[in-house]
């Protein structure tokens, strides 16, 4: 029997265990009860039991198995109270009727009952939480809750929305899944290919919100990036034959490698071409390039698909990662990759990024011509990066008065305070240069927010 730990130490241990085991626990329970909402409730019951018992008894040697044993017993109790689930009682309870008390040390039997199916269970959980019957916001909230192990408070804080809003999204998501009769199962074959983009979208949305926050005072929220990376790595191992899963991991690994270089000591943004590349994380870059190689190995020949959007974006990120200095960046290659990306997923935002690459490869006038062609795109009407990119190109062409207007417009459109300050500073710099005053940051070069 483990020794009791001080209450504060135990509570911290429980938090750590929950973050590690929550997804596995809910996945295993979901397979048994076939309902993601009920599975999460059972897992929460087990967590409460741990909070009540572990401060006195100590943290078990196998805390995950302890939680699973308690949760499965609760499942049996519920099933016994509901006669219509008699068949499930026999199915789930057969090997649990004589189970030991979860406070005992040996949990091998309990582990054996779930470990053999953990990969399949996790895959079922991922595809259920990200089911397309749910709205994007609901998928994100439910995924972070059941797969990321985040509390509603943490999710609300990360996305700067009221906690009640997150709670409602999660409750509605569970009800929607139940009402739609969504089965707790992973799709196969063509259905898996059709459903996978929904899952990848959720993971990348979480990452992007951490990498470049859409609102608030902080430029980055690293914890969200870490959660997304963890989910992406799990997913890539669950579907090893899917190129885009590896492509997404590659993209996130390489982008995350720049995190330390993206802000100054005061938290202000540092754009891609101004970053100290010595601060880029070489381990993450190596992992990203390895994942990209796996993604590309699954593409190409006639019997395999062409590289998808995430693999192409990862290839673009790799061009930056391989360049030791901004001047060594292969902008011609990047502009070509953006052309392929625009073909794969036609989007004004992709075209805007291609315009930046073209400007770096062939001059600001060529880039500005492409940007001006996007001015009437409805999707970019309120997109602050359109005037921001245009302002940058105008600065390079010496048209600073026009550039100032664009930076001021971009500052008014962004919801992020750090970014607004940067854009306002650039507008001021244009004014000072026009007035004959030296501006130290007027030609900062590049306006890639994804830096």
**DSSP assignments along 142-206, one per residue:** HHHHHTS---HHHHHHHHT--HHHHHHHHHHHHHHHHHTT--S----HHHHHHHHHHHHHHHHHH
Burial class (CB in 10 A: 0-12, 13-18, 19+), 336: middle
Residue 104's pLDDT is what? 44
Does an H or E element contain 389, and which?
helix 385-396
Residues facing residue 263 across a β-bridge: 269
Beta-carbon contacts of 254 under 8 Å, excluding residues fewer than 6 positions away, are: 284, 285, 288, 289, 292, 314, 317, 318, 320, 321
Cα–Cα distance measured from residue 347 to residue 345, given in angstroms and rounded to the nearest whole number: 6
Cα–Cα distance measured from residue 314 to residue 248, given in angstroms and rounded to the nearest whole number: 7
C-beta separation of 350 from 337 below 8 A: no
* DSSP 8-class letter at 216: E
Region of 120 on the Ramachandran plot (φ > 0 left; ψ -120 to 50 alpha; else beta): alpha
φ/ψ of 276, rounded to 5, equals: -80, 105
Cα–Cα distance measured from residue 212 to residue 133, given in angstroms and rounded to the nearest whole number: 27
Beta-carbon contacts of 388 under 8 Å, excluding residues fewer than 6 positions away, are: 406, 407, 410, 423, 447, 449
**What tokens appear for 164 in the block?**
């009640």
Quick one: CA dihedral 240, 243, 244, 248, positive or negative?
Answer: positive
Beta-carbon contacts of 246 under 8 Å, excluding residues fewer than 6 positions away, are: 236, 291, 292, 294, 295, 298, 311
Does an H or E element contain 132, and which?
none
What length is written for the chain? 451
Chain centre to alpha carbon of residue 185: 22
* DSSP 8-class letter at 215: E
Residues facing residue 415 across a β-bridge: 215
Number of C-beta neighbours around residue 10 at 10 A? 20
Residues facing residue 416 across a β-bridge: 216
Beta-carbon contacts of 342 under 8 Å, excluding residues fewer than 6 positions away, are: 350, 351, 354
Tens-of-pLDDT digits for all 451 residues of the chain?
455 555 557 777 777 777 777 777 888 888 777 788 888 888 888 888 888 888 888 888 888 888 888 888 887 777 666 655 455 555 555 555 545 454 444 444 444 444 445 567 877 888 888 888 999 889 888 888 887 777 888 788 767 688 899 999 999 998 999 889 888 877 877 888 888 888 898 888 888 878 876 666 565 677 778 888 988 998 898 889 999 999 999 999 999 999 999 888 888 888 898 999 999 999 999 999 999 999 999 987 766 678 999 999 999 999 999 999 999 999 999 999 999 999 999 999 999 999 999 999 999 999 999 999 998 888 898 899 999 999 999 999 999 999 999 999 999 998 888 889 999 999 999 987 655 543 333 333 334 444 5
DSSP string, 93-112: HTTTTTPPPTTSS--HHHHH
Cα–Cα distance measured from residue 415 to residue 449, given in angstroms and rounded to the nearest whole number: 14
Beta-carbon contacts of 412 under 8 Å, excluding residues fewer than 6 positions away, are: none
Residues facing residue 216 across a β-bridge: 416
* DSSP 8-class letter at 61: S
């Amino acid at each position: 029997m483990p020794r009791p730990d001080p209450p504060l130490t135990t509570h911290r241990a429980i938090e750590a265990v929950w973050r590690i085991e929550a997804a596995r626990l809910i996945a295993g329970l979901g397979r048994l009860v076939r309902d993601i909402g009920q599975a999460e409730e059972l897992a929460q019951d087990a967590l409460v039991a741990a909070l009540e018992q572990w401060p006195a008894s100590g943290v078990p040697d196998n805390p995950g198995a302890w939680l699973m044993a308690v949760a499965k017993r609760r499942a049996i109790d519920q099933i016994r109270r509901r006669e219509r689930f008699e068949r499930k009682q026999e199915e789930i309870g057969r090997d649990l009727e004589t189970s030991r008390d979860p406070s005992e040390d040996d949990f091998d039997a309990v582990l054996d009952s779930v470990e053999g199916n953990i990969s399949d269970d996790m895959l079922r959980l991922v595809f259920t939480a990200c089911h397309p019957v749910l709205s994007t916001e609901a998928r994100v909230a439910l995924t972070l809750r059941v797969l990321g192990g985040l509390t509603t408070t943490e999710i609300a804080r990360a996305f700067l929305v009221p906690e009640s809003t997150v709670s409602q999204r999660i409750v509605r998501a569970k009800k929607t899944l139940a009402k739609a009769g969504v089965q707790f199962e992973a799709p196969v074959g063509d259905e898996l290919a059709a459903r996978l983009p929904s899952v990848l979208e959720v993971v990348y949305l979480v990452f992007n919100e951490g990498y470049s926050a859409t609102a608030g005072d902080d430029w980055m929220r690293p914890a969200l990036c870490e959660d997304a990376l963890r989910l992406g790595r799990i997913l890539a191992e669950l579907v090893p034959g899917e190129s885009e899963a590896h492509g997404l991991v590659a993209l996130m690994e390489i982008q995350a490698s720049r995190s330390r270089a993206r802000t100054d000591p005061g938290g202000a943004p540092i754009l891609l071409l101004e970053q100290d590349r010595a601060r880029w994380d070489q381990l993450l870059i190596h992992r990203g390039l390895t994942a990209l190689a796996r993604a590309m190995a699954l593409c190409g020949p006639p019997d395999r698909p062409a590289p998808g959007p995430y693999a192409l974006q990862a290839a673009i990120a790799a061009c930056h990662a391989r360049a030791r200095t901004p001047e060594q960046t292969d902008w011609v290659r990047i502009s070509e990759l953006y052309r392929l990306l625009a073909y794969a997923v036609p989007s004004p935002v992709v075209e805007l990024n291609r315009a930046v690459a073209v400007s770096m490869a062939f001059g600001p006038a060529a880039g500005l011509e492409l940007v001006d062609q996007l001015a009437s795109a409805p999707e970019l009407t309120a997109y602050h990066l359109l005037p921001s990119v245009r302002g940058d190109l105008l600065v390079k062409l010496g048209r600073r008065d026009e550039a100032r207007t664009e930076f001021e417009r971009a500052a008014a459109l962004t919801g992020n305070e750090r970014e607004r300050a940067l854009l306002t500073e650039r507008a001021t710099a244009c004014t000072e240069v026009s007035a004959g005053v030296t501006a130290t940051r007027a030609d900062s070069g590049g306006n890639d927010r994804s830096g």
